[in-house]
Structures are given as structure tokens and as C-alpha cells.
Amino acid sequence: MRLSDLKKELAAAADPERARNMAWFLKTGKGQYGHGDRFIGLTVPAMRRIAHRYIHLSLSDVGKLLASPIHEHRSTALEILVAQYERGNQPAIFDFYLKHTNFVNNWDLVDGSAPYIVGQHLLTRPRRILYRLAKSRNLWERRIAIISTLAFIRAGEIEDTFAIAKLLLADDHDLIHKAVGWMLREAGKQSAPALLSFLKENYLALPRTTLRYAIERFPTARRKRMLARIFN
């Protein structure tokens, strides 16, 4: 099955009305984080069904799909990469992913791929690359850095999540505030005391959005105190 066949299948499943809604939802207006992105309007389940019929696509063709200006093409390419990573050849796919981060350029693309390729790969390897990505000027590479740690959290390892979260507390982008808060919340499922310790230690630097996401699982009355920066 060829790349041209894949693009035809994606086009056949397109929905112009959904495309308009997705363009609004993923902030493609002038000055917004997704400015200039193009959509054809596929549901995630439909896109995944098509992607999984093309898991044997060459990395060269995946790269061409990933470089497309159409959002669903890039999303499909990443679905294929995740599936290929699960089936083998992990070092090559990990390296390919890191060389193409400029095309992993919206939050849904990061969230659906980074834990399953970057995070999974680094479970048993040095994690210095995440600390470099956390300092990148590229918004999406910074999000990749923190979201990749979801794989570690699920394996019961939370130290890197807290360390990278701390590096990102001064970030000025709301999408990083949300991502950090989400990962802190997930780390708290492994250890509520560790999460509380982090929040107490860094409460002056915590963006309100990050704090709000991080404490979602606490009882309402306690969340109100925490939002007022009262942690005892």
C-alpha cells in the first residue's frame, strides 16, 4: 500500500464542517499557536483505522506525510510511528521523531506521540535529552519534554517529572502551564506526599493554571485553600 493510497483514504473520510470546527478548536487564527494549520476534518477513530492499515509504510514516506501542511496527515504519520515503535526498530524511530519535532507542532500531536515514543524509549536509557528539550525555544519541544514523562509516571517513576516541571515553572505559555499541571497531577496519583512537597516548595513560582490542574483530585475545600496558596 502506497502513500498516495493513504492520502486518498484520508481525503475520502474528510468532513468540511468538522474541519472548520477543528481549525477553531486548535487555534489556527492569526497570532494563535496553531496559526496557518490546515484541516480536512477526520474523527480520531477514523484516522486511526486508516493509519493502522499503513503501519508498514517506509520511514521515508512517513516523513513526507509528517511534513504535510494538513494536520490530519501529520497526526496519521505519528500514529503510524507509534505503531511501528511498538513493533520494533525503536532506536531508528526514536531518532527519526527527534529529528522531526518541528512537524509535531500542536498539543494533540505531542500528547498522542511523545509518551509512546520518546518516553517509552527513555524508560531504560539516559534522559538528558528531555532536559535539553525543556530549555528549547520551541514551544512544542518543551511540551514534548514534560509530556514524555507520562511513560515514566506509569512505570512508577516520578522524579524526572518533578525535575522537568520545575524547569518549566517560569514558562510564559499557557499550553506549558497546562501540560505541567497535568503531569504533576498524574505524578500525584503515584505519590500524593511527593506532589504536596513539590507544591509547597514551589508555590510562589506556580502559575495558577498549573496549580489548578495539579490539584484537581483533591477535595473541593482543600483545593480552595491550595488555590489561596495554603498547603497545610
Q: If you compute the radius of gyration of the chain from its CA atoms, what whole number of angstroms results?
A: 19
- ∠ CA(151), CA(156), CA(161), 5° rounding? 60
Write the pLDDT tens digit of every residue in 3-60. Answer: 999 999 999 999 999 999 998 988 888 889 988 899 999 999 999 999 999 999 999 9
Distance in angstroms (rounded) separating the CA atoms of residues 147 and 140: 10
Amino acid identity, position 16: P
Domain ranges of the chain: 1-105, 113-232
Q: Do domains 1-105 and 113-232 have the same CATH topology?
A: yes
The architecture CATH gives domain 113-232: Alpha Horseshoe (1.25)
pLDDT at 115 over 90: yes
Angle, nearest 10°, between helix axes 174-190 and 139-147?
Answer: 10
pLDDT at 132 over 90: yes
Q: How many CB atoms are located within 10 Å of the residue 123 CB?
A: 12
**CATH of the domain spanning 1-105:** 1.25.10.90
Distance in angstroms (rounded) separating the CA atoms of residues 127 and 132: 9
User: Please, which residues bridge with residue 70 across strands?
Assistant: 38
pLDDT at 1 over 80: no
Write the pLDDT tens digit of every residue in 177-204. Answer: 999 999 999 999 999 999 999 999 999 9
Q: What integer pLDDT is reported at residue 11 of this predicted model?
A: 96
Distance in angstroms (rounded) separating the CA atoms of residues 111 and 147: 7
Query: At which residue does the C-alpha cell 464542517 appear?
Result: 17
Amino acid identity, position 175: L
Query: At which residue does the C-alpha cell 487555534 appear?
Result: 27
Q: What integer pLDDT is reported at residue 146 of this predicted model?
A: 98
8 A C-beta contact, residue 141 and residue 170: no
Q: Which one, of 96, 103, 167, lies nearest residue 130 by Cα?
A: 167
For residue 158, with 0-12 CB atoms within 10 Å meaning exposed, 13-18 middle and 19 or more buried, which class applies? buried
Q: What integer pLDDT is reported at residue 201 of this predicted model?
A: 95
Report DSSP state, residue 34: T
Which three cell numbers mark 45?
A: 477513530
Q: What integer pLDDT is reported at residue 164 of this predicted model?
A: 98
